[in-house]
Every structure is written in C-alpha cells, then in structure tokens.
Amino acid sequence: MLTPTRQQVLRHIDLVGQLQPALHQPQHAPFPEAIDHALFRAYMRTAHDVGGEPDVPIQYEEKEEEQWELNTYVTCECLAWRGLWNAEERRRRQNVDLGQTQYLGLPYYGRWLLSAARILVDKQAITLTELINKIDEVKKRYE
C-alpha cells in the first residue's frame, strides 16, 4: 500500500470530521455513484479505528486503578460469567457502538460501565426504570 500524501490525509480527516456527531453538517444521503473511495473509507471508519492516523504524541505512564475502575471490571466479568455477554460483544459495545463523542469523552472504564448498563437494559435483565432508580439511590448516598 502506498503512503498517502499530505493532501490525501487532510482530505480524509476533513471527510471524517464532517461525519462526526459533534461537527455534523446536515446532508442528504448520496447516491451510490457519488461515493468515491475516500468518502466510503470515511463512512466506514469507527471511533476506535485510529491506527495509522496522524495524532499528537502521548506520554504513557503507569497508573494504579481507582476502586470504581476495579469494581467496574469485576462487574463486567461477572456479567460474562453469568452469560449476559462475551468479551467480543463487550468490546463492540464499548468501542464501536458508542460513537465518536462518547468514545473520546468517557474514560476507559467509563465506557465499560455505560456498556454494562446498556446491555442489562437491552437484554431485559433490568428495566430502564430500575436502573434510573438505582442510580438515584446511589447518588443520594453521596450527597
């Protein structure tokens, strides 16, 4: 595969940027013949699919997980042990299905937590009302 030129990279970033929820520009769905390869790639890109894209340098550092992060991990593992989801379904829900805004806006285990809540409601293990009531109950404990 050839290395893309600067102009191709900038066009790709511009196309992806037009499709993002936070920067969305209203547009009609194009006819198939109006979709070139670059636009198709932009449409097919998922939030976590950033391999090879330009980005700022990041400093990696060791971090000890906070208690809520450990609790979230254990909760998600228990959901898997109980057969509510498998690792692939969890990854899809916390990486692909969230969309760019939530993917970039939530911390790593925050995405796990949101995905766990969604799977519990989607698979009717609990109702949305039960979830909302439990969240209110926990909030009151910390007020």
CATH H-level, domain 67-141: superfamily: Nitrile hydratase, beta subunit (1.10.472.20)
User: Which residues are catalytically annotated?
Assistant: 108
Structure tokens, 118: 């969604």
Q: Where are the domains of the chain?
A: 6-44, 67-141
Q: Which of 89-93, 105-109, 111-115 has the highest mean pLDDT?
A: 111-115
Q: What is the pLDDT of residues 46-73, one digit of tens each?
A: 666 666 666 667 778 888 999 999 999 9
Chain-wide mean pLDDT for the chain?
81
The stretch 84-110 carries a mean pLDDT of 83
pLDDT band at 23 (very low <50, low <70, confident <90, very high): very low
pLDDT band at 18 (very low <50, low <70, confident <90, very high): low
In the chain, the percentage of residues whose pLDDT exceeds 90 is 35
pTM of the entire structure?
0.62
Residue 7 in this model has a pLDDT that exceeds 90? no
pLDDT band at 20 (very low <50, low <70, confident <90, very high): low
